[in-house]
Structure 1
Amino acid sequence: MSPVVKGASAAAAAGIAALCAVVFLKASGDQSVHPFPTVGVLMANGEHWCTASVVDSPRGNVVATAAHCVAPAGEDGHPGEVAHDGLAIGELSFAPAFSGEGAGTQPLGVWKVRSIHVDDRWTKWGDETADFAFLTIEPDGDGRSLQQRVGAGEAPKPDWTSGYERDVTVIGYPESEHNPQNKPVSCTTQTRHDANDPDMLYISCAGFWTGTSGSPWIADRGGTGQPGRLIGVLSGGDTDVDSTAALYDEKAKALFEKAARG
């Protein structure tokens, strides 16, 4: 069974009974806080499209997200023509720590995507085990890297050899229909093999509606100075409660290294 992708324009199934498990991150006075400043909204033509996150890299210029957020799925060895929802993807940018109603605020700026790096298994065959992508991000007007802006010690390092059973924290931005103030939702739980596709990771956590595609799955996250290890990103799920991710592998590592050189 193919999972329902959770990009901003996909149709999400309801998981109302489990909504009480949603943890929206906020401070006293209902002001948003950002314990995960590396996570934000991937925008297409200025609109919330997916979720993305900074991953530790030598130049501080790499963001991780899902492949279906940035490239159409291929079929039978041929590239796809449109995104998963039949729409054009548009010009991409990244707003870490995004929050607020409507257009919201971008406390750490909006960063231009320079280049997109996606596995051929996705762009030619639509292989769900390759539904991950790495984006090279332009420096800002002052020459600073994205990683410098969000905090040099905040970004998780990628893990290319993870097993399937890990304690992870997953952070994403649901679409405004379910999240009008654009607050990130967070869940800490254990991963396992997906029953429908054992090659995919699976978690059960409510609140990961449409818009959370690309949400980072971070293992071994601790306190200050312990940002953890990124083992994959959210790629799909049949409801807001059920989410899947492709486990990073050596081909993901090759894409990351290409992005980091960009």
Structure 2
Amino acid sequence: MHRLGAVWRAVALAAAVVVGGAGCGGPAASSPQPENSPSAAPPPGSATQSDAVPAGRTPSVGVLVSGDSHFCTASVVDSPRGNVIATAAHCTNDFGSGTLEFAPGFTGAAKGSYPYGKWKVRAVQVDDRWTSDQDDSVDYAFLTVDPDAQGRSVQSVVGASTPDWGAGPDQRVTVVGYPLEDHNPQNRPIACTTDVHRDPDLAAMLLMHCGGFWEGTSGSPWLVGYQGPDRLGRIIGVLSGGDTDVESTAVLFDAKARSLYERATQA
């Protein structure tokens, strides 16, 4: 399963967000440009992959961070102010005090490194059905992050994918995510390019078969038309769960997701 485990729910208690509306942001963390250009994820080939491969650094994709711990994957989504990221709704459960941050391009063993800094989350938008019933059909969330100490938006520093609110269920996607250290001691992102289809057991879900998507990859963007970190294509959903590391699901972004996104752009 990719769902947030008990250890990470405990970490989540230390994170600060306002769910469903604008929150109070403190001073934003600095976001320095790295001295060296990041290695790019190779453009996907024509063959369907059965297992994920190392992705190289993809600046717009990173991890959620609370203190010295990271959990779940998130990514920057194009927005008017360049300050919106997408992840799975279950990655935001139980957040209520402390600090939650987004670390794009995160990498490295143990505590890892933050080549683009950490960006403080100001507000979280999740569907009311997730809040009340944890309805899997709305397991997506849009988070608003503060500018860095130089006043820059996260999108202006690392780029963003374009949200697609009307994609069909049969797609070829590239999924980029961060398994936790048990299966990824160097904290490097992985990627898989493969064909996905509607889950026969869950009508609202897309189903992917590709090995390596362990806990920590929840929230990973499902990208159509991905050609590398500078040509990200369209994001049609985020990884929400799966029974094994081989089977993963995502809810297609739709009008409900767009409504949350629009709230995030105003938070």
Q: Give the TM-score band, short-chain normalised.
A: 0.7 to 0.9
Specify the alignment match of 1:235 in structure 2. 240
Say yes or no: does 1:178 pair with 2:183.
yes
In structure 2, how many angstroms separate the alpha carbons of the residues matched to 1:90 and 1:183? Answer: 26
Output the amino acid matched with 2:54: F
Give deviations 1:54-89, integer Å, cap 9, x for gaps.
011110000000000002xxxxxxxxxx58xxxx89
Question: In structure 2, do the counterparts of structure 1 residues 242 and 139 end up closer, same or farther at CA, with 3 Å as the change threshold?
Answer: same
The partner residue of 1:112 within 116, 120, 124 is: 120
Specify the alignment match of 2:221 in structure 1. 216
Q: Please report how far the alpha carbon of residue 119 of structure 1 lies from its aligned counterpart in structure 2 after TM superposition.
A: 0.5
Say yes or no: does 1:163 pair with 2:168.
yes
Residues 52-91 of structure 1 correspond to what in structure 2 (within 5 A)?
52-71=74-93, 82=94, 91=99
Say yes or no: does 1:252 pair with 2:257.
yes
Q: Please report how far the alpha carbon of residue 198 of structure 1 lies from its aligned counterpart in structure 2 after TM superposition.
A: 2.2
Specify the alignment match of 2:43 in structure 1. none
Partner SS state of residue 260, structure 2: helix
* Equivalent residues of 1:192, 1:202 under 8 A apart: yes
Partner SS state of residue 191, structure 1: strand
Specify the alignment match of 2:63 in structure 1. 41
Specify the alignment match of 1:131 in structure 2. 139
* Equivalent residues of 1:8, 1:175 under 8 A apart: no
Say yes or no: does 1:7 pair with 2:4.
yes
Partner SS state of residue 256, structure 2: helix
Unaligned 5+ residue runs, structure 2?
A: 9-48
Q: Please report how far the alpha carbon of residue 9 of structure 1 lies from its aligned counterpart in structure 2 after TM superposition.
A: 5.1
In structure 1, how many angstroms separate the alpha carbons of the residues matched to 2:213 and 2:255? Answer: 27
Q: Please report how far the alpha carbon of residue 101 of structure 1 lies from its aligned counterpart in structure 2 after TM superposition.
A: 0.4
Specify the alignment match of 2:192 in structure 1. 187
The list of structure 1 runs, each at least 4 consecutive aligned residues, that deviate by more than 4 angstroms after superposition, is 8-11
Q: Please report how far the alpha carbon of residue 143 of structure 1 lies from its aligned counterpart in structure 2 after TM superposition.
A: 0.3
Output the amino acid matched with 1:127: D
Give deviations 1:105-146, integer Å, cap 9, x for gaps.
000111100100001111112110100000000000010000
Partner SS state of residue 53, structure 2: coil
Residue-pair matches, total: 227
In structure 2, how many angstroms separate the alpha carbons of the residues matched to 1:159 and 1:109? Answer: 28
Say yes or no: does 1:140 pair with 2:148.
yes
Output the amino acid matched with 2:155: Q
Output the amino acid matched with 1:218: L
Question: In structure 2, do the counterparts of structure 1 residues 90 and 247 end up closer, same or farther at CA, with 3 Å as the change threshold?
Answer: farther
In structure 2, how many angstroms separate the alpha carbons of the residues matched to 1:224 and 1:239? Answer: 27
Specify the alignment match of 1:204 in structure 2. 209
Query: Alpha carbon RMSD of aligned pairs, Å?
Result: 2.1
Question: In structure 2, do the counterparts of structure 1 residues 225 and 44 end up closer, same or farther at CA, with 3 Å as the change threshold?
Answer: closer
Q: Please report how far the alpha carbon of residue 213 of structure 1 lies from its aligned counterpart in structure 2 after TM superposition.
A: 0.5
Q: Please report how far the alpha carbon of residue 7 of structure 1 lies from its aligned counterpart in structure 2 after TM superposition.
A: 3.0
Stretch of structure 1 that moved more, 193-202 or 97-106: 193-202
Output the amino acid matched with 1:137: V
**Percent identity between the aligned chains?**
52
* Equivalent residues of 1:8, 1:49 under 8 A apart: no
Output the amino acid matched with 1:145: S
Output the amino acid matched with 1:167: R
Partner SS state of residue 201, structure 1: strand
